[in-house]
Amino acid sequence: MATSLMLGACSGKNTAGTAESDGKNLIGRTEVEVTDGRMTPEALWAFGRIAGVSASPDGKRLVYTVGYYSVPEDKSNREVFVMNADGSENRQITRTAVSESNAVWIKGGSKIAFLSSESGSSQVWEMNPDGSGRRQLSDYAGNIEGFAFSPDEKKLLFIAQVKTVPSTRDKYPDLDKTTGVIVTDLMYKHWDEWVTTAPHPFVADFDGEKVANPVDILEGEPYESPMKPFGGIEQLAWNTTSDKVAYTCRKKTGKDYALSTNSDIYEYDLNTKETRNLSEGIMGYDTNPQYSPDGKSIAWQSMERDGYESDQNRLMVMDLATGRRTFVSKDFDSNVDGFCWSADSKTIYFTGVWHATSQIYAADVAACTVRKLTEGQHDYAGVALLGDGLLALRHSMSAADEIFAVSPSSGEATQLSFENKHIYDKLEMGRVEERWMKTTDGKQMLVWVIYPPHFDASKKYPTLLYCEGGPQSPVSQFWSYRWNFQIMAAHDYIVVAPNRRGLPGFGMEWNEAVSGDYGGQCMKDYFTAIDEMAKEPFVDKDRLGCVGASFGGFSVYWLAGHHDGRFKAFIAHDGIFNMEMQYLETEEMWFANWDMGGAYWDKANATAQRTFANSPHRFVDKWDTPILCIHGERDYRILANQGMAAFNAAVLRGIPAELLIYPDENHWVLKPQNGVLWQRTFFEWLDKWVKR
């Protein structure tokens, strides 16, 4: 059976020809002009982004997709590529005006199935491995968002949205043009949408020619499976005999959903139509099930505590005959991120962050021991089987995702794809250095330092403190198309990126130290990082800036009231300014309750009162430094009024300030021209107030 590395739109040389763009319909690889080897916003948006790598059943070929972006046309496209498993004969096999995605091998490797909206809605298609013979397989009434064929290929499991909330127009048919929304419970908005539908898993028949007779596994139920906003086909799984489906679901709605992270792994029997809860009694997130190849066990990622979305993500294995559940990754004091079974069902390979890099590990299922396979200054972004070896995507602060083959015995990695070599050949990347610093409470903290290209230690450089979001997201060797350290370094800034308190990869005690203590040790860690670097002769301590997004944006707003003249300018993107308003404005209340400690009106709750006493808006009287606030109005996690309020406060206090507001962006910046505008505004502000 084919194995897949199913990731979202990831960053990511092919030796094949490039799609020929007609300027309107086709978007392919873009050639960019680079001066003095320096990264530019236009070069960053020219990168092809690899995703969804799948190995053929015989392990000899790979299929994957690459996303391309056009800044002039302000849109993107995704195309399909095929290459041999040794990286040779890499060919682009689609060149269309619509995006192809979710490409996988079917019919013994003689065909490739994929999603395309060529017919007007997103449906499952197939084609030959050379791109010929395109043929539509499904004709579902809505859009198919992800799919997986059963092992015997007689069934298709797919995801589609189902209406779960009646609209105002349903209630009042005569008001067919009204835009008003009547809200009666919580979770009426989520990340960037007004919640009116839920994704459901469907199972349909497949006779090799057509998909027919789809059945909604959750018919009549208002729940999500997979779970929004990030869940996809990885949250569903076929068993080996093609008669059962495991799916991830949090069977809650409204206020109950808003207050709980307790999702479970359910198993649906296609023959009996019965469902059983495999993870019953585990109170946190249970996600991403995978059956073992021998059919005897099922594994999934599991969190222990309800309401804590950043709890340790454990690798759980259940014996299907006895129901016995085992915490297999207990030797690994960090999170299991992506995983796959070995062919003999004795080992599970997984990726996880430790000391600010994400590597591949092997867990012995019987012994519950963990062995590290890979090393190096990079992150692996998932793992799958490739014949007798492993298949993975890998990136770093200096390179976007590429496809690698990895030896399970030696950990040796061989690069297979070179999607962006034509850009790297024109660029000089800044050196990335690992430093360990002693914090104010005597602990050791890992800090990444990124130097400008052509760095000269005899000169003095302006320097930026980078504040991470999450708040519990690792500052590992990540590659970003917005918070890209190499483009900051290319503008002649040294970047200081600390793994401050509250980040995974340094043990659970370190990871949990931020919850309920936003203004505490994590902020002292920021000061440690920038103060230690400011002692270096090549750092200009009179030209320091501070930047960050989300919790990093909160950090910027908080540091603006406590920095004692350290910084010359601040930039906050999608940051929390007023904690009391954030508590009531955000949608996922479990996050607010856990991280803030509870409601601000609970005067007897010392943790909550400490949190709200440290709200950045309470220290605006101490603001004295120019600040740029950036926010998207479709950000329903941290509403745009937070950025507007911070900007207004700065202006009223006579502090130089600027607001970049996006009416059509969410918690991220996803459109090409908006992304370029973000970069230009970012560096114009820093050059004006820090470099001068």
Nearest-angstrom CA–CA distance, 649 and 561: 12
Active site residue: 264, 286, 311, 635, which one? Answer: 635
Evaluate whether 195 touches 189 at the Cβ level (below 8 Å).
yes
Evaluate whether 22 touches 657 at the Cβ level (below 8 Å).
no
200 is catalytic: no
Evaluate whether 574 touches 566 at the Cβ level (below 8 Å).
no
H or E element, residue 170? helix 168-171
Say if residue 625 is exposed, middle or buried (CB neighbours under 10 Å; 0-12, 13-18, 19+): buried
- Distance spanning both ends of the chain, measured CA to CA: 60
Nearest-angstrom CA–CA distance, 595 and 464: 27
Nearest-angstrom CA–CA distance, 110 and 668: 39
Nearest-angstrom CA–CA distance, 630 and 572: 6
Nearest-angstrom CA–CA distance, 545 and 113: 49
Nearest-angstrom CA–CA distance, 642 and 652: 15
3-class SS at 237? strand
DSSP conformational letter for 221: -
Cα angle 528, 531, 535; round to 5: 135
Helices 589-596 and 606-613 sit at what angle, rounded to 10 degrees? 90
- Tokens 């070599």, residue located: 421
Q: What is the DSSP string of 238-287?
A: E-TTSSEEEEEE----HHHHHH----EEEEEETTT--EEETTTT--S-EE
Active site residue: 116, 550, 555, 615, which one? Answer: 550
334 is catalytic: no
550 is catalytic: yes
Q: What residues contact 579, with CB distance under 8 A and at least 6 apart? A: 518, 596, 600, 611, 612, 614, 615, 616, 617
Active site residue: 378, 491, 563, 667, which one? Answer: 667
Residues taking part in catalysis: 550, 635, 667
